[in-house]
Structure 1
Amino acid sequence: MKNLKLLSLLLILFSLNNNCSSKKEIQNSPEENVTPVATHSQLKVKNGQIVDASGQPVQLKGMSLFWSQWQSQYYNRETVENLVAGWDIQLIRAAMAIEHEGYLDHPEREKEKVKKIIEAAIDLDIYVIVDWHDHHAEDHLIEAQQFFSEIAKEYGNYPNLIYEIYNEPLDVSWPQVLKPYHEKVVASIRQHDPDNIIVLGTPNWSQRVDIAAEDPVEGENLAYTLHFYAGTHRQELRNTALTAINKGLAIFVTEFGTTNANGDGPVYKQETGEWMDFMEQHNLSWANWSIADKDESSAALLPGTKPSEINQEKNISASGKLVRSHLTSRN
């Protein structure tokens, strides 16, 4: 009897061990690790392209939030969850306003909004662009250094983070103004985060990537901002981008619109499609402007839409439907 009891106990233990092993195998199977960060892990820049941990070129696609001080209702986990579930985003961009009652006047308030988006992105295993949404960042260098140093110290150990340290410079000098600004802010980030990608704004509303390509900032894992609005910027800007690409510049389209540059007017489906083809061809990651319910054409949502309603077809604008079709068909 003792031998039978011992044999039964051993069989039970063997069965439990097999079950545990099976669960571990299931949890670690490639089919389960389909989230963007689990798939690509640590991003880097190599030979003028953004690549993943295995060295393969990556094209990430997602949505940008609107200026944080004006559309704060979407700066929460619910928004990010619904965009992941219903829009299939791989990245979210937190556009932290600097001027116009933004971070300069309310630093803690605006910073907390960004942190909510960062933490939601980390929990949902997608990438997040932390955007210093400013047109005069060279006048706010100290504030930018302090902010990005803090963010890098707190979250820099996560591969989810992408830093965008100057949204859209105006018509200012690259060598005399922008490059020195970038060098200082990059140094503040690298004190705490040695490897996550940093995206650098370029002259003329982040369009003159060709100028940056002539005199890039020294350092690892640096990319450069290209912004376009399909109704205003067409083949001429694609030619400019191609010039920079051919010179080995890594480009990241952190913001684009389907409309005119003022964010309004018609939705340019054909012209947007031409840009989509160009970005696909060159593996340019992108974020669409924007998750907002503002009464303008570039807003992806119709006025009055709540975060819980952003997956409902009736609440999505013409621009939102066009962009969502590109997001959900990426596989």
Structure 2
Amino acid sequence: MRKKYNYLLVAFFFLLWSCQSKEPTATAKPNLPANPPTDVVTVTNAVAQFGQLRVQGNRIVDKNGSPVQLRGMSFFWSQWIGKYYTPEAVKWLKDDWRCTVVRAAMAVDYEGYLQNPEAEKQKVTTVVDAAIEQGLYVIIDWHDHEAEKHTEQAKAFFTEMAQRYGDKPNVIYEIFNEPLDVSWSGVIKPYSEIIINAIRQHDPDNLVICGTRNWSQQVEEAANDPIKQPNVAYTLHFYAATHKQWLRDAAARALNKGIALMVTEYGTCEASGNGVLDQTETKAWWKFMDDNKISWCNWSLADKEETSAALKPGAKSTGGWADAEISPSGLFVREELRAKNPK
């Protein structure tokens, strides 16, 4: 009996020692592959990942000289739907939508900056400050169709932005949203050079994105007569149901002539912002932009009743949007963002 008792006692103490010598299962390390797949990029902080961007040939490259492609969302005209220009919305776009870039579309005309400069500027700086805190790239967009008529105001605005943010690699300057049917060489380019020179007095490094003729579509004209300054790229805008293969072909020709492009605004629908949600053409554009490492922002983070709006009317201003608050276009774009910008 004592022998059996001794065996039981020894077994008890061995079991006790064995349990105490192991880590709790809750803190056990997962079995990870020694060499994770190279095609998966974990971007918890895009700016920490890619660093100072620059233009090299016909590509935008990261701090290591590798082509980089940013994907994200553009806010709507600030004076009309400014309620989403909040730190909480920016954070949600990073954490849930997995954006690596956002675009603050500061309205200039139509009771925008020209009439209410401090109010509209405050919306922009709120988004920029939040993007810097979250490690996102952020486009400061002079959202104007006739910027050549507001050169002095644009010069003063971008001088102030460069003084404030010139030491932050997060910032990208979009100095002319969508020029109308005016001359590239005679109007848009001279305006752009004036604004670039003003920016460069305080910020020698960050990207400047220049608009192109006819709603930022005539990129070949810029390729034929480019601005002779470093770290300048050119804007290409499209709406998938209206602008199809012919515009992709024109963009390819511009790239082949040596300029870099950024799609700072595109829609999944018709150029009106409404009409059919064209998933087939949008996917064709996504492939084209992926193949050519072209960064993009989708238009738009708004709750307007139109196809291009990413949110449904009444969606809250602070992020946290349930699927029921997101429009069909928003769900479509969010799925692409989450697939291509993995967390």
| TM-score (normalizing by structure 1) | 0.90
2:36 alignment counterpart: none
1:49 alignment counterpart: 59
2:174 alignment counterpart: 164
Structure 2 counterpart SS, 1:37: helix
Give the letter for the 1:270 counterpart: T
1:106 alignment counterpart: 116
Give the letter for the 2:131 counterpart: A
| Change beyond 3 A, Cα 1:84–1:48 | same
State how far apart, in whole Å, the 2-side matches of 1:94 and 1:281 are: 26
Structure 2 counterpart SS, 1:329: helix
1:326 alignment counterpart: 336
State how far apart, in whole Å, the 2-side matches of 1:174 and 1:317 are: 36
- Whether 1:301 and 2:311 are equivalent positions in the alignment is yes
Give the letter for the 2:136 counterpart: I
2:96 alignment counterpart: 86
State how far apart, in whole Å, the 2-side matches of 1:47 and 1:140 are: 31
Structure 1 counterpart SS, 2:102: strand
Higher Cα Rg, which structure: 2
State how far apart, in whole Å, the 1-side matches of 2:57 and 2:92 are: 35
User: Is the contact between residue 315 and residue 321 of structure 2 (CA under 8 Å) also seen in structure 1?
Assistant: no
1:142 alignment counterpart: 152
Give the letter for the 1:326 counterpart: E
Give the letter for the 2:293 counterpart: N
User: Is the contact between residue 86 and residue 311 of structure 1 (CA under 8 Å) also seen in structure 2?
Assistant: no
1:69 alignment counterpart: 79
2:105 alignment counterpart: 95
2:5 alignment counterpart: none
Number of residue pairs aligned between Structure 1 and Structure 2: 301
- Whether 1:221 and 2:221 are equivalent positions in the alignment is no
| TM-score (normalizing by structure 2) | 0.86
Q: Which has the higher helix share?
A: 1
User: Is the contact between residue 291 and residue 300 of structure 1 (CA under 8 Å) also seen in structure 2?
Assistant: yes
Identity value in percent? 52
State how far apart, in whole Å, the 1-side matches of 2:183 and 2:320 are: 40
Structure 2 counterpart SS, 1:101: coil
Structure 1: gaps (5+ residues): 1-30
Give the letter for the 2:192 counterpart: H
Structure 2: gaps (5+ residues): 1-40
Structure 2 counterpart SS, 1:73: coil
- Whether 1:191 and 2:201 are equivalent positions in the alignment is yes
State how far apart, in whole Å, the 2-side matches of 1:134 and 1:32 are: 35
Deviant stretches of 4+, over 3 Å: 31-34
Give the letter for the 1:303 counterpart: P
Deviation per CA, 1:210-262: give whole Å up to 9, x if none. 00000001101000000000000000000110010000110000000000000
| Change beyond 3 A, Cα 1:276–1:57 | same
User: Is the contact between residue 309 and residue 315 of structure 1 (CA under 8 Å) also seen in structure 2?
Assistant: no
Compute the displacement of 1:48 (Å). Answer: 1.2
State how far apart, in whole Å, the 2-side matches of 1:78 and 1:33 are: 19
Choose from 47, 70, 95 the match for 1:60.
Answer: 70
Structure 2 counterpart SS, 1:74: coil
Choose from 179, 183, 187 the match for 1:173.
Answer: 183
